[in-house]
Amino acid sequence: MNTPSLLVLAGDGIGPEVMDEVKRIITWFGDKRDLRFDLSEDLVGGAAYDAHGVPLHDDTMAKAQEVDAVLLGAVGGPKYDDLDFSLKPERGLLRLRKEMDLFANLRPAQCFDALADFSSLKRDIVSGLDIMIVRELTSGSYFGEPRGIFEENGKRVGINTQRYTEDEIDRVARSAFELARKRGNKVCSMEKANVMESGILWRDVVTEVHQADYADVELSHMYADNGAMQLVRNPKQFDVILTDNLFGDILSDCAAMLTGSLGMLPSASLGLPMENGRPKAMYEPVHGSAPDIMGKGLANPSACILSFAMALRYSFDHGEDATRLEQAVEKVLASGVRTADLMQADGGKPASTSEMGDAIIAELDASL
């Protein structure tokens, strides 16, 4: 059996710091669970621009197409703000998503009991929260044409086109329904069918897919603006939320803050199966590059570590080990270990990035 391959793109800002802790976890699984990976590393974002003059080198893109999964840290930073739009660090990330055809973005929003008081909502509303947002990732207004800034009657006009094909909606809907069958068996599809033709098509296709192949899954529809309100009113009414690229970007960040910290949230971006049956995949924390704390040992590595747990589950069929890692993170939090983003005002001295990694590895040892 071939050793599964994993490409690590640490990126910018705190990306390399949190990725260092993930690499320690990967080493632990190799040493203690005999779960080994063919690990390679490369550059993306600002780091790639500094080295190559582009946010993603063609050679790196080729590597990403060949491996079983990509694990990414974060991209961006203020030093790149004045670059041409085509050269900004984020374009490297978007290129990976688009050219790997990673159309289904899975963003879990889970509130660990130890962090319920960190949420912006009351404990009883968020305690036990466990929802999954499935966001279409490779089409919609972020990729539709025409796009750009043009001059019209002597004035500038900014244009982005919201465009979806039936096939693009069909495949991401199937991803959401399949995932729901393994969870609470409920999907809520969110769009703006009341004012957007693309929303009408979205609702029609999702309904058709449901009736044809997933009638056993409970399906509801909701306008995305109401969905945002419902997320902060009663988030536990949801199991799987299915939505488009733009609304998914907004709704997943809204859901993220229900859990207490962006530093805790992983994500997976999945595509079609390769020849070996594994889906093309990229895993990354939801948080950004946080250049203000770069190099200070303040970053929370948990989201990146939990992203690797998602890779274990969705790319490498090691659900038991994924659960082992998730439970280790949860036990560390329950024990009171906190990085700076999770400290109360009178909480004492926060754990550093590496100390959080130490604590998680200690819990993994204890799990054997």
For 338-347, the pLDDT digits (tens) are: 999 887 645 6
Alpha-carbon span 310 to 283, nearest angstrom? 7
Domain of residue 351, CATH code: 3.40.718.10
Answer for the pair 149, 181: CB distance below 8 angstroms, yes or no.
Answer: no
- Residue 314 annotated among the catalytic residues of the structure: no
Tell me: do 140 and 193 sit in the same domain.
yes
| Side chain identity at residue 118, one-letter code | F
Say which of 68, 239, 244, 249 is annotated catalytic: 249
What is the reported pLDDT for 131?
96
Pick out the chain residues at pLDDT < 50.
345
Tell me: do 21 and 39 sit in the same domain.
yes
- Residue 253 annotated among the catalytic residues of the structure: yes
Inside any domain, residue 184: yes
Tell me: do 238 and 270 sit in the same domain.
no
Say which of 12, 49, 192, 214 is annotated catalytic: 192
Tell me: do 208 and 151 sit in the same domain.
yes
Pick the last residue of a domain from 234, 258, 282.
258
C-alpha angle with apex 201: 211 to 234, nearest 5 degrees? 75
Tell me: do 213 and 308 sit in the same domain.
no
Answer for the pair 305, 325: CB distance below 8 angstroms, yes or no.
Answer: yes
Say which of 101, 130, 170, 253 is annotated catalytic: 253
pLDDT in tens, 185-241: 999 999 999 999 999 999 999 999 999 999 999 999 999 999 999 999 999 999 999
Tell me: do 299 and 233 sit in the same domain.
no
- Residue 192 annotated among the catalytic residues of the structure: yes
Tell me: do 205 and 187 sit in the same domain.
yes
**Range of 210's domain?**
130-258
What is the reported pLDDT for 264?
87
Tell me: do 277 and 246 sit in the same domain.
no
Inside any domain, residue 122: no
Tell me: do 195 and 289 sit in the same domain.
no
What is the reported pLDDT for 344?
66
What is the reported pLDDT for 347?
65
Inside any domain, residue 118: no
What is the reported pLDDT for 231?
95
Element (H, E) at 223: strand 218-223
- What's the total number of domains in the chain? 2
Tokens of 12: 């910018």
- Residue 142 annotated among the catalytic residues of the structure: yes
Q: At 339, give phi and psi (nearest 5°).
A: -85, 170
Inside any domain, residue 115: no
What is the reported pLDDT for 346?
52
Tokens of 311: 């890779």
Inside any domain, residue 198: yes
Pick the last residue of a domain from 258, 276, 305.
258
What is the reported pLDDT for 276?
80
- Residue 225 annotated among the catalytic residues of the structure: yes
Inside any domain, residue 117: no
In sequence order, the 6+-apart residues with CB closer than 8 A to the CB of 335 are: 359
Say which of 49, 142, 214, 283 is annotated catalytic: 142
Compute CA distances 157 → 65, 98, 197, whole Å: 36, 26, 22
Tell me: do 37 and 95 sit in the same domain.
yes
Pick the last residue of a domain from 207, 230, 258.
258
Tell me: do 67 and 1 sit in the same domain.
yes
Tell me: do 135 and 186 sit in the same domain.
yes
Alpha-carbon span 51 to 365, nearest angstrom? 39
| pTM assigned to the model | 0.90
Alpha-carbon span 184 to 210, nearest angstrom? 16
